[in-house]
Amino acid sequence: MRRLNADQRHTVTLTLNGQLVEGQATPRMLLSDFLRHELAATGTHVGCEHGVCGACTLRIDGSMARSCLTLAVQVDGAVVDTVEGLAPAPDRLSVLQESFRKNHALQCGFCTAGILMSLDTLLRDTPDVNEDQIRDVLSGHLCRCTGYQAILNAALEAAETISKETKDA
Ligand code: FES
Ligand code: FES
């Protein structure tokens, strides 16, 4: 019987924020650790490492995922989007990021990357998103600083702006 060597490193190739990248991962290495330590992509934060706090949320092949519940080797060949890829240009924020800034929707910022990724996915996939749907997504994230109201306001304002831009286009 073939035995798995827990220390053996495997090459993982993925498209990260539009760029083809590769790194080495042991079989049990978490995607969050792989991104942060192997690829130096530290925008994805790690809080609980148990799938509870939402800080490590990103997108894999278009769907929201917890990177602390995903093994690095599982994303070989996948498309992964993280907070580093949200801004359309180095000197410009996305509509959602700009709305967070304007509405003071972050304080320490620890939860922010994960919340932005979840909300960005929701707004992208749900053209006429409503407040209940935004609250539902936020219920998967812990924020110890803001009290959530400013985040909700930011998401609602971003949804309105995106909807207006879509209708004007
Ligand atoms: S670090 Fe992944 S959900 Fe908390
Ligand atoms: S802004 Fe500090 S945890 Fe959310």
> Any idea which ligand is nearest the CA of 110?
2
Give 99 Cα–ligand 1 centroid separation in angstroms: 24
- Which of 62, 85, 108 marks a domain boundary? 85
- Based on the domain organization, do 81 and 14 belong to the same domain? yes
Binned at pLDDT 50, 70 and 90, residue 4 comes out as low
Which residue minimizes the CA distance to atom 4 of ligand 2?
143
Q: Is 51 in the pocket of ligand 1 (CB under 6 A)?
A: yes
Share of the chain above pLDDT 90, in %: 92
Taking the C-alpha atoms of residue 126 and residue 66, their distance in angstroms, rounded to an integer, is 20
Mean per-residue pLDDT over the chain, rounded: 96
Burial category of 73 from C-beta neighbours within 10 Å (exposed 0-12, middle 13-18, buried 19 and up)? middle
pLDDT digits (tens, 9 = 90+) for 109-122: 999 999 999 999 99
CATH of the domain at 14: 3.10.20.30
Ligand 1 atom at minimum distance from 56 CA: 2
Q: How many domains does the chain have?
A: 2
pLDDT digits (tens, 9 = 90+) for 29-79: 999 999 999 999 999 999 999 999 999 999 999 999 999 999 999 999 999
Q: What is the dihedral of CA 136, 67, 46, 125, to 10 degrees?
A: -30
- Based on the domain organization, do 18 and 68 belong to the same domain? yes
- Which of 85, 113, 140 marks a domain boundary? 85
- Based on the domain organization, do 81 and 103 belong to the same domain? no
Give 163 Cα–ligand 1 centroid separation in angstroms: 31
pTM of structure: 0.95
Residue 77: inside a domain: yes
Q: Is 114 in the pocket of ligand 1 (CB under 6 A)?
A: no
- Based on the domain organization, do 56 and 77 belong to the same domain? yes
- Based on the domain organization, do 109 and 143 belong to the same domain? yes
| Close Cβ partners of 90 (under 8 Å, ≥ 6 residues apart) | none
- Based on the domain organization, do 80 and 123 belong to the same domain? no
- Based on the domain organization, do 100 and 163 belong to the same domain? yes
Least confident of 53-57, 130-134, 165-169: 165-169
- Based on the domain organization, do 79 and 131 belong to the same domain? no
- Structural domain of residue 64, as residue ranges? 10-85
Ligand 2 atom at minimum distance from 109 CA: 1
On whether the CB atoms of residues 24 and 39 are closer than 8 A, the answer is no
Ligand 1 mutation pick, 50, 142, 144, max ligand atoms within 8 A of CB: 50
- Based on the domain organization, do 77 and 118 belong to the same domain? no
Residue 162: inside a domain: yes
Q: Is 45 in the pocket of ligand 1 (CB under 6 A)?
A: no
- Based on the domain organization, do 39 and 78 belong to the same domain? yes
Residue 1: inside a domain: no
Strands of the sheet with 79-81, listed across from one edge: 19-25, 10-16, 79-81, 57-60, 63-66
